[in-house]
A and B are shown apart, each in its own frame.
Chain A
Amino acid sequence: MDAGANAYRRFLDGDDGAMTEILRAYREGLTLFLNGYTKNFSDAEDLAQEVFVRLAVKKPPYRGDAALGTWLYAIGRNLALDHLRRQKRAPIPAEDPADADRTDAEAIYLGKEKNETLWRVMGTLPDAYREILFLTYFEGLPNKAAARVLRKSTHSVETLVHRARRALRTALEKEGFDNESL
C-alpha cells in the first residue's frame, strides 16, 4: 500500500494528522495536473486545495491504492473544467504570480532529471496527450482508472495512450533523446 493510501485509511479512522501525509503524497502531482488546465499555477494550487477540502468533507470509502488517486484526479478535473467555464464568462489576466512555486512543485514531484526532460517535452504536446501521459506515466494510474478520471472508455484511453506515446517519442527524438522504453 502506498503512503498516501495508508494515510487516507488512518484519516478515515479519525486521525486528522494524516491529512499532512496525504498532501505530501498527492498535492504536487495534482497541482501540476490541474495546472495543465488552468495554465496558471496559483489557480491550480487553489483548485488542488479545494479537492482536498472535498476529500475531508465527503470522506469517500477506501477502495484501494489507485482508487484514491482516481477520486482526487477526477474531482480535480471537474473543478478545473468548472473553473475554466467561469473564467470564460469573466476572463482574468493570465499572469502567474506563483511561477516560483510551480518550479518548486515540479522539482519535488519530478525528482529525476529524466523526468524533468519528459515533463518539459510533454508540455509541448497537445493537452489531451499531456493529460493522459501524466496520469498513466507519472501517476501510474491503470488505463481503466485514467478512463474514469477523463470520462472516457478504457478502449479510447488505450488508443489515446498509444498516440500520445508515439507523439512523445517523436518529440523526444527531435530533442536528441532516444527513449525506447516508451
Chain B
Amino acid sequence: MRAYDEDAREILAKAKTIRRRNRRRNAAVGTALGLVLLIAAGFAIRKAGLRRKAGMIDLPSPAPVSESGGQTVPAIGAPTETATMAATVPNAEAPTEQAPEQPTNVPPTESPQPETTPVGGEIAVEKHWDEKTAPEKYPALQVNGREFSVQTRPLDPAFVGEDLFTATLIGQDLYTEEIHTQTAAAKRIAGADPNAGVAVTLEDGLTYAYLDPWFGTATLGELISALSLRESAAFGDGCATLPDDNGWVQRVYLDFDDALIWDALLPDETAPNLAADGNWENWSRSLVGIRIDVPRLGIENRSLTVTEDGHLILNVPGAPAVWFIGPEKAAAFIRYLNENVPYTDERFAVPSGSEAPEEGGAPEVIEMWSNGVQPE
C-alpha cells in the first residue's frame, strides 16, 4: 500500500479541486436563478400593467397592521375604503353575467392577440374563456377596495354559513382583454374572520373560498384565532434541501404529528408578526418547509418554513407572516426530526463537464429511515 503522506497530499489536492468546482457551480446556479427571477418579475410587471390598463384593479400593497392586531381596513360591509380604488373597480352594482361592454374607465384595447398564442410569454398556456373552470374564470372578488383571491379547492358545505353581502366577482379574458363581472352572495366560512375570506357559490354549483392574501395580524395567536387554525389546519410532509458534494440532497420527512408542530414551533401565541413592517425578505437559509393545508378555507399546499436564524414563515392565507422563535429552537426542532421522524433522501447530482457523475444528473433516490422503521 502507498505511503500515508502521499495519499494525504492527493486527497487534499482533490478536495481543493472539488471545492473550487463547487464554488463555480454555485455561482452559475445563482446567476441562473437571478435570470429566472428577472424573467418572472418582468412577466408579473407586464401582467399587472395589462390589468391596470384594462381598468380592473390596483395591486394591493402589503397590509399595515393596526395596534389592535387587525388590518387597517374597514370591516366587511363598511363603506368603500378609498376613492382611488373605487374608481378603478368596474361597476359593482351592474348584475351582468358577462359584461358585453367594457367599463367606461377602460381605455380602448389594443388589437387582440392571435388565438393560439400564449399570453405575455407565460409558461402555461392561457385557456380561452369558454374552456376555463368557474374559479379560473373568476379568480378575484372585490371587497371594499380589497381583492380576495379564489382557492380552487371546493369547500365542504358543512362549513359554509349565512350570507354576508353581495360580492362582485371579476375575471378577464386575456385574449380579448374583456373584463367579466358577476355578482354573487358572499357567505361566511365557519371559524374564519370575514375580513380574511368569504365563500361564494359559482356557476358550477360548487362553493369556493375567496381569501384576502394580505390579511395580516399583529400576533401569531390572532392569526390562529382568526382562521381557527388549531381546528382546521393539517400539516403534511416536511422538506429540506441539504448541500451535497456533487449536488444536493432533498430530504422529505414523513408522518408528521401535528402536535409536534404546535408544541415545538407555535406555542408562543404572543409572538409578533415581523412581516408587518414589510421587511420579510431578509431571513436566512430555510432549514425545512412543512406543508400546511387548511381544507376549511380551500387552502392547499402552503408552507410553514423554519429558517436557520430561528424565524418561522407562514404563507396562510396568502402573503407571508414571520414569527421569531430563535435559532436554538429551530436547531432543536431539526435535530428532533432527524432523530425521530422517518425520512427519505433523494440525491440530485449536477453534471459538470467531464467530471459529471455517471448518472448524468439524474436523481438518485436513496431510502433512509432514521428511526429504523424499515419499509415493508
Given contacts A20-B5, A27-B4, A101-B1, contact A53 B372 (CB under 8 A): no
Tell me, rounded to whole Å, the shortest Cβ–Cβ distance linking B28 to chain A: 18
* A58 CA / B358 CA spacing, docked (Å): 21
Residues in B whose Cβ lies below 8 Å from that of A53: 11, 14-15, 18
B368 within 8 A of A: yes
* A53 CA / B14 CA spacing, docked (Å): 7
B374-A104 in contact (CB<8A): no
Tell me, rounded to whole Å, the shortest Cβ–Cβ distance linking A59 to chain B: 9
Residues in B whose Cβ lies below 8 Å from that of A56: 11-12, 14-15
Residue of A nearest to B372 (CB): A153
A136 within 8 A of B: no
With A24-B4, A57-B245, A58-B245 already in contact, 6 other A-B pairs whose C-beta atoms are closer than 8 Å: A16-B12, A17-B8, A28-B1, A151-B369, A153-B371, A153-B374
A20-B4 in contact (CB<8A): yes
Residues in B whose Cβ lies below 8 Å from that of A152: 372, 374
* CB 8 Å contact bits of B348-376 with A (1 = contact, 0 = none): 00000000001000001010110111100
B372-A147 in contact (CB<8A): yes
Q: Mark A residues whose CB is within 8 Å of B.
A: 16-17, 19-24, 27-28, 45, 49, 52-54, 56-58, 78, 82, 86, 101, 104-105, 108, 147, 151-156
A154-B372 in contact (CB<8A): yes
A155-B15 in contact (CB<8A): no
A156-B372 in contact (CB<8A): yes
* A101 CA / B8 CA spacing, docked (Å): 18
Instruction: Please name 19 pairs of A and B residues whose Cβ atoms are closer than 8 Å in the assembled complex, sorted by A.
Output: A16-B8, A16-B12, A19-B8, A19-B11, A21-B4, A23-B8, A24-B4, A28-B1, A45-B1, A53-B11, A53-B14, A53-B15, A56-B12, A58-B245, A78-B366, A82-B364, A101-B1, A108-B1, A153-B374
Tell which of A45, A52, A152 has the most Cβ of chain B within 10 Å. Answer: A52
Residues in B whose Cβ lies below 8 Å from that of A154: 372
Which secondary structure dominates chain A's binding surface?
A: helix
Residues in A whose Cβ lies below 8 Å from that of B269: none
Given contacts A57-B245, A78-B366, contact A19 B374 (CB under 8 A): no
Tell me, rounded to whole Å, the shortest Cβ–Cβ distance linking B247 to chain A: 13
Residue of A nearest to B358 (CB): A86
- Of A23, A45, A82, A105, the residue contacting B4 (CB under 8 A) is A23
* CB 8 Å contact bits of B1-30 with A (1 = contact, 0 = none): 100110110111011001100100000000
Residues in A whose Cβ lies below 8 Å from that of B5: 20
Give the size of the chain B interface in residues (CB under 8 angstroms). 23
* A108 CA / B358 CA spacing, docked (Å): 34
* A91 CA / B364 CA spacing, docked (Å): 20
Residues in A whose Cβ lies below 8 Å from that of B371: 153
List the 3 shortest-distance A-B pairs measured between CB atoms, nearest first: A153-B372, A56-B15, A19-B8
* A72 CA / B371 CA spacing, docked (Å): 20
Tell me, rounded to whole Å, the shortest Cβ–Cβ distance linking A22 to chain B: 8
- Of A16, A20, A54, A104, the residue contacting B245 (CB under 8 A) is A54
Residues in B whose Cβ lies below 8 Å from that of A147: 372
* A27 CA / B14 CA spacing, docked (Å): 17
- Of A20, A58, A105, the residue contacting B1 (CB under 8 A) is A105
* A44 CA / B371 CA spacing, docked (Å): 29
Tell which of A23, A28, A49, A86 has the most Cβ of chain B within 10 Å. Answer: A23
A23-B7 in contact (CB<8A): yes
Given contacts A153-B371, A153-B373, contact A104 B15 (CB under 8 A): no
Residues in B whose Cβ lies below 8 Å from that of A16: 8, 12
Tell which of A17, A20, A22 has the most Cβ of chain B within 10 Å. Answer: A20
A57-B18 in contact (CB<8A): yes
